[in-house]
Structure 1
């Protein structure tokens, strides 16, 4: 009986606080020209309409009520946008206003909002952004690591070749793509190669499991995020799970920091300019500014890089291969382009003990990738249909502003559904079909594009966001996906498991990965066997 009355009193208190808060908000809204809003329930607002996958349920909502909507998720006001012009207005004219992040539970328990992705706009965020842009993802830095990415791709194709025989063999690709993207970012961060021994492989799997679970818990609605007055109640054990994830990540990251700190003299490194990895840079900065660059700040920064830099490339690779398998005519065109780019290029001469004929080299990122224009079209079309984040990471307005002629209150969460924009029939011809050719004109007429192809993307393609909080790792992702796809197509023949097309159903999570991990039939190209056998 006492427990019953406790819940009655608790519910009454929550109801009173919520109604008072909503009435206050309503008086403020009455004097504003707010965007259209569907009918909302008391207290919960529009939470009842949210279903998995979230980007699709919000897409149907925008189809029904318009491209700029005003919603309420509990007590949190939300601006939902599927209008390209409104997106541009948010991230150009109002870019500073929308540069904040909403303070959600996952950011609190992953180093208390100090990571690059979760921190609010300010001096701390600008410093982390500068570090990531200049020291890790700049064109100069990416070129320094240009040999690293092909090395990891060679390990991938070596692993595939090891399980093949003369005929087609079924291979699983999701885990291999995850290993590739993880190893690339970890070698850039720490220089550590995790494939060398059993201990390293175990630690790598722990890191990958943690980042995967962080993505998972980030996509689970948390009551405290929508009703701050209930933040002390861990209704579904989500907060407990986040704390456990933080402890696991903290142990691994601290071990990584200690390994580097004990094996390098960062005073001499800073003086001699020999800093080669992101860890070198961070620990040298810590030596100069120990009060700011604490271990906690470094671990927060590294975890953010791991989360942002691994899953995006792996997911894009899996979707790209799935689409190519479902469209063998496109796969043949990519294969022809790869052969054409390599034709007449540098050759590999074998030792006298082997066949004296010459064989093509493997794809070289700097020499070949920029010439593969159709491959870039395939990557762009993959990012259009299956962006690595169908909903951009939420922003939050720091003060009142206007978007599309509507008033937007300070403290409003901004959600941009780029999945809807990428499939809008008003913007794209036959938007649900896989047509890489739609990007050929953009690539042919683009001026000033670099080897990553980033400048060649049309303005309506926003897989990595835009504005000051756009993803700094877009160039890296484009290079990893490009060199991996080209090399896999160069070295192997591919086909589906059977006549049935590869299932393109999306699974749950922020990155909307494939619901069913990709499997395909694979066989080494006869012209590449001698090259593959020497890896």
Structure 2
């Protein structure tokens, strides 16, 4: 979680997060996704709002203020940094052309459209979605590796073939690690980071597939069940990365990031982050479970379906990588 948060912050602001800032945000993100998955009694019994009894909403409002405070600190720091430089970033090749800088520039040019709230909201979405979901998926992938050591060995052999052990794996290597990419897809199939995709609402009355859809209808897509449908997938509950050597990953059948033009815009970033992190862990360390039994793959509550029992594993630096690791 701290690794993915640090990476997103550097992408957004151009600098790494302060010591302790990562832990602070990780706690907020975990709490935000946990609270968001809890049914709100006031939605079913509106009178609770009238009498002022809505504990869940109050907890979420307090958390919202904490997250807004952290985001405000990040955005304000960028603004102060720009003020010191006494100029605006207008060239695309500028090293300081980060997302926040671009949005602040747009805000200055058109403050009626690009308000401060829009900038703050964009940063919040990127931090929450880009941190928690990617970290949860990586944890599931490592758990599957431990339960399927043959897949772990196959990924390691692939890295040895394409990268070797004289240097660390780089992001440019990920596209060549075909089996690793299949493992990531199979992990996302079995444990999609958003089991229920982002809700959709019809803006007008229409017909879809012969079904009448009234205006304002809320649609929830259960990607978790689609990915495990025996009519769609062969051996749907088995971990089989090899299945993606065929055409079993087409859109709608496999949609951990949604589908169509409104699919998650961070898909490529998430897949590249997972690939680089997992490849580095496999390349540099030998892994095994803490006990003799398999890792518990039970899911817990939450929008991102984290592991019910947080993953614990034993690792040891690979002998062939000791010289490279000693230089870090």
Q: Do these two structures clear the TM 0.5 threshold for a shared fold by scoring above it?
A: yes
Shift of 1:250: 2.0
Q: Which residue of 2 aligns with 1:95?
A: none
What is the TM-score normalised by the length of structure 1? 0.58
Q: Which residue of 1 aligns with 2:66?
A: 248
Residue of structure 2 aligned with 1:269, choices 88, 95, 99 = 88
Q: Alpha carbons of 1:272 and 1:380: their partners in 2 closer, same or farther (altered >3 Å)?
A: closer
| 1:40-439 matched pairs, under 5 angstroms | 178-194=1-17, 200-226=18-44, 231-265=49-83, 268-273=87-92, 274=94, 275-343=96-164, 360-366=166-172, 368-439=173-244
Shift of 1:186: 0.9
Q: Alpha carbons of 1:391 and 1:256: their partners in 2 closer, same or farther (altered >3 Å)?
A: same
Q: Alpha carbons of 1:295 and 1:232: their partners in 2 closer, same or farther (altered >3 Å)?
A: farther
Residues in 1 aligned to 2:75 and 2:110: alpha-carbon distance in whole angstroms: 16
Shift of 1:223: 3.3
Residues in 1 aligned to 2:43 and 2:107: alpha-carbon distance in whole angstroms: 34
Does the 8 A contact of 1:384 with 1:422 survive in 2?
yes
Does the 8 A contact of 2:186 with 2:239 survive in 1?
yes
Structure 1: state its 5+ residue gaps. Answer: 1-177, 195-199, 344-358, 444-456
Higher relative contact order (CA 8 A, sep 6+): 1
Shift of 1:427: 1.0
Does the 8 A contact of 2:33 with 2:302 survive in 1?
yes
Q: Please state if 1:519 is matched with 2:312.
A: yes
Residues in 2 aligned to 1:498 and 1:251: alpha-carbon distance in whole angstroms: 42
Residue of structure 1 aligned with 2:272, choices 465, 479, 496 = 479
Q: Alpha carbons of 1:225 and 1:292: their partners in 2 closer, same or farther (altered >3 Å)?
A: farther
Does the 8 A contact of 1:182 with 1:310 survive in 2?
yes
Residues in 1 aligned to 2:133 and 2:24: alpha-carbon distance in whole angstroms: 18
Q: Please state if 1:458 is matched with 2:236.
A: no
Higher Cα Rg, which structure: 1
Q: Please state if 1:488 is matched with 2:256.
A: no
- Secondary structure in structure 1 of the residue aligned to 2:254: coil
Q: Alpha carbons of 1:215 and 1:234: their partners in 2 closer, same or farther (altered >3 Å)?
A: farther
After superposition, give the CA deviation of every residue in 1:329-381 in whole Å (9 maximum; x if it has no partner): 111111111111124xxxxxxxxxxxxxxx51100111x11111111110010
After superposition, give the CA deviation of every residue in 1:256-293 in whole Å (9 maximum; x if it has no partner): 22211111148733344424211111111122122332
Does the 8 A contact of 1:234 with 1:240 survive in 2?
no
Decide which moves more: 396-405 or 423-432: 396-405
Q: Which residue of 2 aligns with 1:52?
A: none
What is the root-mean-square deviation of aligned Cα atoms in Å?
A: 1.9
Does the 8 A contact of 1:363 with 1:483 survive in 2?
yes
What is the TM-score normalised by the length of structure 2? 0.93
- Secondary structure in structure 1 of the residue aligned to 2:114: coil
- Secondary structure in structure 1 of the residue aligned to 2:212: strand
Q: Alpha carbons of 1:520 and 1:293: their partners in 2 closer, same or farther (altered >3 Å)?
A: same
Does the 8 A contact of 2:89 with 2:97 survive in 1?
no
After superposition, give the CA deviation of every residue in 1:163-183 in whole Å (9 maximum; x if it has no partner): xxxxxxxxxxxxxxx111111
Shift of 1:233: 4.9
